[in-house]
Chain A
Amino acid sequence: MIGLSATMFWFLNGRVAGISGVFGDLVLGRAEARAPKGAFVVGMLVAAILFGLAMPSAFGASPRSIFTLGIAGVCVGVGTRMGNGCTSGHGVCGISRFSLRSVIATMTFMLVAGITVFLVDHVWRIS
């Protein structure tokens, strides 16, 4: 379904379905292609509300504290804009077209995320 969604957005609207890019452009007020990007995010949110009602178990809570989530949010915000992409943009869309940049970015963030989880859960045991 994610692949199909990315395919639709590319072949119908000519855009890469990278969430950090689409969402970031909207909240940062970039004028470019505001309508389709806005519609994409609204579609995400409407579907989330419906899924939340139909299968609440699909949405879980993070085991981390609010404080940790705040720090993590800043890291994700800066990191995805600085590196031009997240799991969807680099991980799915980028790798699908053999972008070397995306392959390297994806390996980097998966590796760092893995090391982070290892340190947090097994070495420091913090939440």
Chain B
Amino acid sequence: MKILTAFAAGALFTGGLAISGMTQPEKVLGFLDVSGSWDASLMFVMVGAIGVHFTARRLLSSMKKPVFAHAFHTFASTKIDARLIGGAALFGLGWGLSGYCPGPVIASSVVSGRPVLVFVAAMVLGMAAWEIIQRLRSVDTNEEIIADVAVPAPRVGTDAS
């Protein structure tokens, strides 16, 4: 059941991306290009997704644990540091250069052919490079913790991944 629901969630995610236009890099670049002919429609996609997820988390906030897992997994870090800002900036650079962020590009990898595969391979390389650097410095990259509270009513300063 756990596997099946995760599969369904993944499929639904792709559905949302494909229907909203996130898998069309031209459209994404049009959204990011506020100086040209700005295509604001993707803003509504993001606001819509946040709205749904936020509302659901509020409504279900009394749940002690997930249906098919032992605990909610969230992240310990609350630091606003150079690593967070630097990483986000680097990601923004790559997103603006290509029109692809991880979700859409992974979905597109089985449809859109070679250019996307080059991007995905480069992305994996980048992820591995960061992992290797972190291991050399012996830093744990994902200080994942098990949330000891139920669903936190929106908690300030936890991390996403």
Contact = CB atoms under 8 A, between A and B. Distances in A.
Note whether A and B form a binding pair: yes
Given A28-B128, A93-B160, A99-B156, A77 B95 contact: no
Given A85-B88, A97-B54, 11 more contacts: A2-B20, A20-B161, A43-B7, A45-B110, A47-B15, A49-B111, A52-B110, A66-B118, A73-B121, A77-B94, A92-B50
B159 A99 contact: yes
Contact of B126 (A17, A76, A83, A122): A76
Contact of B106 (A13, A19, A111): A19
Nearest to B153: A97
A12 B68 CA distance: 5
A99 B50 contact: no
Interface in B88-121: 88-103, 105-112, 114-116, 118-121
B14 A47 contact: yes
Given A63-B29, A92-B50, A105-B88, A11 B71 contact: no
A114 B107 contact: no
Given A11-B67, A12-B67, A101-B80, A60 B26 contact: yes
Given A48-B14, A75-B90, A75-B97, A59 B118 contact: no
A58 B52 contact: no
A85 B122 CA distance: 17
Q: Is the interface of B mostly helix, strand, loop or mixed?
A: helix
5 closest A-B pairs by CB: A77-B126, A83-B87, A43-B10, A3-B52, A116-B96
Given A14-B65, A49-B111, A88 B77 contact: no
Contacts of B154: 96-98
Interface of A: 1-25, 27-28, 30, 32-33, 35-37, 39-49, 51-52, 55-56, 58-64, 66, 68-102, 104-106, 108-118, 120-122
B7 A73 contact: no
Nearest to A70: B122
B89 A88 contact: no
A27 B87 contact: no
Contact of A62 (B66, B115, B120, B127): B115
Contacts of A51: 14-15, 18, 107, 111
